[in-house]
Amino acid sequence: MPELPEVETVRQGLAKWVTGRRIEAVAVLHPRAIRRHLPGDVHFAAVLAGRTITDVARRGKYLWLPLDSGDAIIGHLGMSGQLLMQPPEAPDETHLRVRFEFADDGPELRFVDQRTFGGLSVSEDGAELPHEIAHIARDPIDPLFDDELFVTAMRRKHTEVKRAILDQTLISGVGNIYADEALWRAQLHGTRPTDALTKPQVRRLLADIRDVLGAAIVAGGTSFDALYVNVNGESGYFDRSLDAYGREGQPCHRCGTAIRREQFMNRSSFSCPRCQPRPRKPLR
């Protein structure tokens, strides 16, 4: 699933292409794509027609497009969602779900989603921050992220450190890939108890999370298949820079020990046995 760097890459691209443009018409081609918009597809199209997109914003892995009406379009990419800018004459994609046409007859915005786990909806009066996503914590590249509040909250939790940094109510935007990468940089095993971490350890981990996310944004995100692309249909290339995730059996870039893979919440965790030893006292 796309994580913060992938969604931020899409946000940056959308901001260049749609900010200040007036929506002429919306076509919903698959009702599941707007299943979270409870009034339905006719209402979705009607409430957006004639509205101008004033910005493109993000909270964690969610995008929202504020409108001049005070409402906002909320978007979540799910496993395979893509927001693409296409010339009006371009052929429809096989999995095209929603099309936005603009009054200037310029490039269309298309929501393409093979698995239809993602979706769009309209948040009433949600231009500043949609109430549907207000419970999600700020992410560590947000200028208003409170470092010391995070350090305190992390050390108060009685859980494993990887579970904590995946908790979107504590810190948003970090998923499985970038959690493993940050933990590798911080030399922490994912099962380390959070209440046993020192303040300097948590601050270092936070700095490493920021570094990993920042580097991934510059690289355009991580693409392991053709389902994640930016608004121009281009894949990211941060997968070439991974130190831990997906590198089972390959030498650690720091010490040369073979990277291990362990089961974690129906997924996999990757770490270095030497640089990231398992805690002597596991969480109880």
Give the single-character DSSP code of 269.
Answer: E
Predicted structure pTM score: 0.86
- Least confident range from 8-22, 71-85, 233-247: namely 233-247
User: Which pLDDT tens digit goes with each residue over 249-278?
Assistant: 999 999 999 999 999 988 999 999 999 999
Q: What is the pLDDT of residues 153-190, one digit of tens each?
A: 999 999 999 999 999 999 998 989 999 999 999 999 99
**Residue 92: is its pLDDT beyond 60?**
yes
**Residue written as token pair 């269309």:** 108
Catalytic annotation present for 61: yes
pLDDT, average across residues 60-64: 94
Rounded Cα distance, 65 and 82, in Å: 15
Q: Which pLDDT score, from 0 to 100, does residue 232 have?
A: 59
Task: Please identify which of the residues 3, 8, 101, 160 carries the catalytic annotation.
Answer: 3
Q: Is 95 annotated as a binding residue?
A: yes
Q: Is 157 annotated as a binding residue?
A: yes
Residue 267 DSSP class: E
Is 199 a catalytic site residue?
no
Q: Rounded mean pLDDT of 79-98?
A: 94
Contacts of 50 (CB under 8 A, 6+ apart): 22, 23, 24
pLDDT in tens, 109-140: 999 999 899 999 999 999 999 999 999 999 99
Q: What percent of the chain has pLDDT over 90?
A: 80
With tokens 């009054």, the residue in question is 103
Active site residue 16: no
Confidence (pLDDT) at 229: 55
Checking if the pLDDT of 51 tops 70, the result is yes
Active site residue 267: yes
Closest CA to 111 of 137, 92, 125: 92
**Bigger pLDDT: 209 vs 3:** 209
Catalytic entry in 58, 59, 61, 185: 61
pLDDT digits (tens, 9 = 90+) for 197-252: 999 999 999 999 999 999 888 876 554 344 445 565 554 445 667 899 999 999 99
Which residue in the list 16, 267, 274, 278 is annotated as catalytic?
267
Of 20, 279, 31, residue with least CA distance to 160? 279
pLDDT at 36: 96
Percent of the chain scoring above 70 in pLDDT: 92
